[in-house]
Amino acid sequence: MDMVKVFQKWARVKEVFISHRLNKWGRRFGFVRFLEVKNVRRLEGELDQIYIGNIKLHVNIPKYQRVQTESNVVERRTLRTQHMESQKEARHLKDEEGKGTQRRKEIWVEKNRTRSFSEVVMGASQDQWRGPSVKKPQNIPQWMSNSYVGKLDVGIDFDKLGEELVKGGMSMVMARFMGDNLVLLTPREGEAMENIMKLNKRWFKSMFSSVSPWSFRNRASHRIVWVRCYGLPLPVWNKECFAKVMGVLSREAAVVSIDEATLTWEVLEYARVQVRV
């Protein structure tokens, strides 16, 4: 990443690879791939003048292109695969000749059945599981049964909820983030959540779209992630534009919030947007 920061001052960097081995002169070497370079020779001359501290970089255009190497690798793999298939076919014919008219018993295999990755690796489905199994009765603590689950309103995140709890004097309520826009609300010992909600109806309506008693069905169905968006021109840096861009990429994506550095234009390399997917 340090070398990416050095080279991206001249052009867009796609990849930096530094070898663990040394060259014949005992020096470290590596490769840098750039995007949309119009004058390669000029870029080579400028990069060859880079100094990092008191160490000078020696830059040259590679003698062999990576595209040629990749094509050769693909060609060798294709030849190897064809050779293995021919050997397999020869063994199959030999087995058929030795058996004469005897036919193998055909076994029906369900091809379209959906299996998990672990089932495929282990070679068995859950129906065929013969390992140990554990059964344990559910133990729900008392504070959990007295808790409520609140669904945050649009434009409200968990950090903002924490600030509003302090401002609203809600020290008798403990909030735990459950994922997506769900928050577990637990009253302090000796308090009842129903009484707290009745005394602070206006506050709860401003923070949550709905509040209901906790149950096993209260689970997050979405995930909130931060996304970096490159290439958008500055005049369209607003929430409406970001919402349209995310809507084009995915119909199920929705913009939750925008980073403060993006709104204040402190960082212009990319826009940072929080999205629910």
In tens, the pLDDT along 102-129 reads: 555 555 454 555 555 555 555 555 556 6
| pLDDT over 80 (residue 242) | yes
The mean pLDDT value for 154-170 works out to 82
Looking at residue 123, its pLDDT comes to 57
266: Cβ–Cβ under 8 A, 6 or more apart, which residues?
260
Buried b (16+ CB within 10 A) or exposed e, 141-155: eeeeebbbbbbbeee
What structural domains does the chain harbor?
1-85 (3.30.70.330), 142-213 (3.30.70), 224-276 (no CATH)
Looking at residue 68, its pLDDT comes to 47
| pLDDT over 80 (residue 243) | yes
Looking at residue 141, its pLDDT comes to 79
**162: three-class secondary structure by DSSP:** helix
Looking at residue 148, its pLDDT comes to 92
Distance (Å, whole) CA 90 – CA 93 = 5
The mean pLDDT value for 79-96 works out to 67
Q: Where are the alpha helices (DSSP H) in the chain?
A: 2-7, 40-47, 66-99, 117-122, 142-145, 158-167, 193-199, 201-207, 239-249, 260-263
Between 112 and 199, residue with greater pLDDT: 199
∠ CA 58-62-68, nearest 5°, is 165
Between 217 and 42, residue with greater pLDDT: 42
C-beta separation of 255 from 275 below 8 A: yes
